Amino acid sequence: MSTNFLRGAVGLLGLLTLVAAGCHTSRVVNPPPIAYPPTATTNTVDTYHGTAVADPYRWLEDENGEGTRAWVEAENAVTFRYLESLPEREPLRRRLTELYRYDRYGVPSRYGGRYFFTRVRGLENQTVLLTADSLEAEPVVLLDPNRLSADGTVALKSYVPNDAGTRVVCALSVAGSDWEEWRVRDVATGQDTGDVLQWVKFSGCAWARDGSGFFYSRYDAPPESAKLSKVNEFQKLYFHRLGTPQSDDTLIYERKDHPKWGFAGETTEDGRYLVISVSEGTDTRNRVFYKDLSKPDSPVVELLRDFDASYNFIGNDGSVFYFLSDLDAPRSRILAIDVTRPERSLWRELVPQSDATLTSAGYVGGRFIAVYLRNAYSEVKFFGTDGKYQKTLELPGIGTVSGFTGRQDSRETFFAYTSFNTPTRLYRYEFATGNTTLWKQPEVPFRPEDYETRQVWFTSKDGTRVPMFITGRRDLAPGKAHPALLYAYGGFNISITPSFSPANLLWMEQGGLYCVPNLRGGGEFGEEWHQAGTKLRKQNVFDDFIGAAEWLVKERRTTPGQLAIAGGSNGGLLVGAAMTQRPDLFGAALPAVGVMDMLRFHLFTIGWAWVSDYGSSADPEQFRALFAYSPYHNLKPGTCYPATLVTTGDHDDRVVPAHSFKFAARLQAVQACQNPVLIRIETRAGHGAGKPTSKIIEESSDRIAFIAHQLGVNVAAP
């Protein structure tokens, strides 16, 4: 679930009764019997707009309750006993460990003549922050989170150097929580300055031009007992001056009349303005305010206050601000607004909307670098500040690029390139010569040329054409069905594009297909595509996903008994909805950290922020739509559901684990066949970010071993 502070009744009963009669069980021969832990139920019933809705597992929402902790322990005992019995588990774990033994670098950036970048060496648990005088010099370790905890669960979430490159703000999180503790590190000494900021979440960092301090956003401290579940509201924007306690920080902006507004501050390169993006949850629309830092005690000016589109600040030339915006352009364009003459009639369009989706843009090296998505893979174009097209950057192939940061006078920029069979490569681009050179290329023990990706198009239920990437070994026999893993997301304007994953490679090594459809609700084709999968139109997302599965079966790429589905967060909801609507279509399901109770998601942490995509049960019409597909509420007794391994983390404060707890408990109670229903609850882990490499390998091995076993895949020993 993305939270964009830095910038939702079908005849199911009849359907399920019909498919239950013809439902296939997993292909496992003599599956081991599972004795699920007894799970208590209550008579909890809520009434929504005249409809009574039972919630018998409400008590599992109490993450600190003794009963919940005992249930977690009992479920994990059953799950790990089962996973440990799988013959596929150990060879897959060994091979995945081999695949992770490579160095992974982050895109470099330059501040004050120094380079800053991250690296993970082989099986290191966490990302290490490095700095170097030149690209050829041996880098110096600036911060190594691996030394901050014995179990590797302290993670560097982000870092921001000041303009001079003398100090760096480092955002750390513990056990995968969204809560961050910020520290400031002195580059020369490699030591912390003593500045410590707490209760920071969903915040950017914007240094003052003189390096005296920085702007950031935070919440008030929650009660300790509810810090992982309490609703997050009333974010405030502060300035922290170096060398002073957090209690002395200057409040820059707050809105007591708008508890759901979030603030992301960004200083302009010339140091004159603080640009404040004002968001409401995950809504792509935002407001933009600014403060003139050249004038002491200047007020915050509401520049764009209509909440009518997205406006992402790119840079400025004096009083002229450049924005990437989808105003009257669902695939986005670049606008220029003079803040001294902000009338809409005086706005200038510099780069118009095109037939590709403009996803990001930077003002670097005296030009705009625009990154587009064309059919869900990247294109990069350069434009002058007058909006004139200059060139298209040649890329290594059909994949995904990111990066292109720097200053307006930078002589170079860096970008990352990846694809389904290409581990992330880093490139340096020189503006003077136009040359692109490879800086870092990882060495992973496999042959990329043995794999191929094809993009196909299928037709969804309502006639909409949807693309899908299919990747697998080149030597797979054509016209023969193969085990397949179908992964998607479909929400919050997030685009799912080609990227490399050792775990996905592991699956493909075993002869499996990895299939990624670009569903409505995502951002691949602009804001109209996104909106087509929201609120009362959310069923389109599930129809697209089911349509992808039906196409794979129809085209004999796989069979229902060989097809597994996976997704995380909003993608976990997707898997939950698909398996409850079409349990006959899938052999196994892997819902991860999913939003499973669509009637109560808004009552925990940042869940209220997702109403812009999902809608809310408080609205009668939206309630009916949510209730019709909510995975937890649409599990029906007497139905044979696919073999399911639910995964979550006990420190997930984005999508609280109660969603997965309640769904798994209900699914175990109603399952009408021998297909296993297990829940794997990672301790000291959150929504996913910052998870140690060791835990990633363990969890990924378990997930692939589970579906390999259920789908009858013959796992080859490494």
3-state SS string over 488-519? CCCCCCCCCCCCCCHHHHHHHHCCCEEEEECC
Query: What's the pLDDT tens digit per position in 142-199?
Result: 999 999 988 888 999 999 999 999 999 999 998 888 899 999 999 999 999 999 999 9
| Dist CA 175 CA 467 (whole Å) | 36
- Kindly report the pTM of this predicted structure: 0.93
Cβ atoms 339, 314 nearer than 8 A: no
Work out the number of other CB atoms within 10 angstroms of the CB of residue 120.
18
Residues labelled as active-site residues: 569, 687
Q: What's the pLDDT at 302?
A: 98
Q: What's the pLDDT at 199?
A: 95
Partners of 417 in the β-ladder: 401, 425
| Dist CA 368 CA 384 (whole Å) | 6
Token pair recorded at residue 504:
């996905």
- Cite the residue boundaries of each domain of the chain with CATH code 3.40.50.1820: 67-98+446-711
Partners of 596 in the β-ladder: none
Residue type, 565: I
Q: Please, which residues have CB within 8 angstroms of residue 555's CB and are 6 or more apart in sequence?
A: none
Q: What's the pLDDT at 32?
A: 60
Token pair recorded at residue 348:
């200038």
CA angle 42, 47, 49 (to 5 degrees): 165
Q: What's the pLDDT at 78?
A: 97
Q: What percent of the chain has pLDDT over 70?
A: 95
Token pair recorded at residue 386:
């007058």
Token pair recorded at residue 300:
């915050």
Q: What's the pLDDT at 267?
A: 98
Q: What's the pLDDT at 3?
A: 35
Average pLDDT of every residue of the chain: 93
Work out the number of other CB atoms within 10 angstroms of the CB of residue 189.
8
> What's the CATH superfamily of 67-98+446-711?
Alpha/Beta hydrolase fold, catalytic domain (3.40.50.1820)
Cβ atoms 316, 273 nearer than 8 A: yes
Question: Residue 6 above 80 pLDDT?
Answer: no
Q: What's the pLDDT at 683?
A: 79
Bridging pattern class, strands 206-207 and 192-200: unpaired
| Dist CA 625 CA 48 (whole Å) | 12
Work out the number of other CB atoms within 10 angstroms of the CB of residue 630.
27
Task: For residue 404, count CB atoms less than 10 angstroms from its CB and return exposed for 0-12, middle for 13-18, buried for 19 or more.
Answer: buried
- Cite the residue boundaries of each domain of the chain with CATH code 2.130.10.120: 104-440
Q: How confident is the model at residue 717 (pLDDT cuts 50, 70, 90)?
A: low
Query: What's the pLDDT tens digit per position in 549-592?
Result: 999 999 999 999 999 999 999 999 999 999 999 999 999 999 99
Query: What's the pLDDT tens digit per position in 456-507?
Result: 999 999 999 999 999 999 999 888 999 999 999 999 999 999 999 999 999 9
* Nearest residue to 516 (alpha-carbon basis) of 460, 453, 474: 453
Q: What's the pLDDT at 223?
A: 86
Q: What's the pLDDT at 315?
A: 97
Question: Residue 455 above 80 pLDDT?
Answer: yes
In this structure, of 89-98, 105-114, 225-234, the range with the lowest mean pLDDT score is 225-234
Query: What's the pLDDT tens digit per position in 165-178?
Result: 999 999 999 888 88
- Alpha-carbon distances, residue 429 vs 113, 377, 384, 387, 649 (angstroms): 17, 20, 17, 21, 40
| Dist CA 708 CA 588 (whole Å) | 9
Query: What's the pLDDT tens digit per position in 245-264?
Result: 999 999 999 999 999 999 99
> What's the CATH superfamily of 104-440?
Prolyl oligopeptidase, N-terminal domain (2.130.10.120)
The DSSP line for 249-281 is PEEEE--TT-TTEEEEEEE-TTSSEEEEEEEET
Q: Determine the average pLDDT of the residues in 346-374.
A: 98
Question: Residue 21 above 50 pLDDT?
Answer: no
Higher-pLDDT residue of 296, 449? 449
Q: Determine the average pLDDT of the residues in 661-678.
A: 97
Partners of 280 in the β-ladder: 261
Q: Please, which residues have CB within 8 angstroms of residue 55's CB and are 6 or more apart in sequence?
A: 44, 45, 46, 597, 600, 662
Q: Determine the average pLDDT of the residues in 355-383.
A: 98
Partners of 512 in the β-ladder: none
The alpha carbon of residue 519 and the mean position of all alpha carbons in its chain are separated, in whole angstroms, by: 15
Query: What's the pLDDT tens digit per position in 611-659?
Result: 999 999 999 999 999 999 999 999 999 999 999 999 998 877 888 999 9
Q: What's the pLDDT at 19?
A: 28
Question: Residue 700 above 90 pLDDT?
Answer: yes
Task: Work out the end-to-end distance of the chain between its first and last CA atoms, rounded to an integer number of angstroms.
Answer: 35
Q: What's the pLDDT at 152?
A: 86
